[in-house]
Amino acid sequence: MSKNKEYKATINANGSEIAIVSKGNEDDYISLTDIAKYKSDEPNDVIRNWIRNRDTIEFLGLWEKMNNPNFKPVEFDGFRNEAGKNAFVLSPQKWVLATEAIGIISKSGRYGGTFAHKDIAFEFASWISPEFKLYIIKDYQRLKGDENSKLSLEWNVNRLLSKLNYKMHTDAIKENLISNDLTNKEISITYANEADVLNVALFGKAAKEWRNENPDLKGNIRDYATIEQLIVMVNIENMNANFIEQGLEQKQRLIELNKIARAQLKSLLSNKGVKKLESLNRKQLGKGK
């Protein structure tokens, strides 16, 4: 799984709730445990019966070869050769430990159980029931549509506020840090450096570092911020503008802004008002569809 911040979600497949660990991109992991409950009250037995199947092992091995450079082909060949024998037993945990597979994971806690990358989960769902698979895909597509509407109020309004507020930040830079003897290139670097002061204070990394870590994602680091992070960004933009006008050195400003950002994020993450705002905006978004 990628390093993007993950969140928990649930889809409803014809009345069956299925947990998803999502990162807001294509690296979603869907609960095999919940899918298996459609077939039996003993979901772990269902998963073990599926994974010991030769066709399943062939599929899992191919997926890992395409997506996992650390996959161990020798161990995979051993499982493939044993598949089909009456005495052959295989569990998800044994598969992962032996082959260093990344397509299947185990999680504990409220959303615990066996999870698999969506490619593998859909294959498992087909084995359970082709009809049930279609219900899963349908509501999964609904979930991804909701995600892609970072046009939703809960995110977009705060992103807009951050952009509007940034004008005050750039004005402070222009009035206090930009001199007439700077070249256009030096001016651009100054603005970029100050933008990264905010990025590092809030996200812990500069824009270029984020792009290097996420070459397949469109946009910039702030486009993938949570509502709490965007609220904090609005606040520290104002504060950095004030610090610049006061003549504080960049290093000192970064230290102070990071302290403020951490404290505000901690407060917001436990703030019921923010959670209610998120819930309300999701409901409003749903009515608009």
pLDDT at residue 2 tops 90: no
Taking every pair of Cα atoms in the chain, the longest distance, rounded to a whole number of angstroms, is 82
pLDDT for res 235: 86
Predicted structure pTM score:
0.53
The angle subtended at Cα 93 by Cα 86 and Cα 79, nearest 5°, is: 40
Neighbour tally for 18: CB within 10 Å: 24
Residue spans of the domains in the chain: they are 7-147, 153-287
**Using an 8 Å Cβ cutoff, are 57 and 65 in contact?**
no
pLDDT at residue 121 tops 60: yes
In whole angstroms, give the CA distance from residue 83 to residue 78: 9
Confidence tier at 285 by pLDDT (50, 70, 90)? very low
**Using an 8 Å Cβ cutoff, are 194 and 187 in contact?**
no
pLDDT at residue 278 tops 60: no
pLDDT at residue 28 tops 50: yes
The pLDDT tens digits for 49-70 are: 999 999 999 999 999 999 999 9
Q: What percent of the chain has pLDDT over 70?
A: 77
pLDDT for res 276: 52
pLDDT at residue 288 tops 50: no
pLDDT for res 222: 80
The pLDDT tens digits for 145-185 are: 766 555 454 455 555 555 555 565 666 677 777 667 777 77
pLDDT for res 279: 54
The pLDDT tens digits for 224-272 are: 887 788 888 888 888 888 888 888 888 899 999 999 999 988 887 765 5
**Orientation angle between helical segments 92-99 and 43-51, nearest 10 degrees:** 40
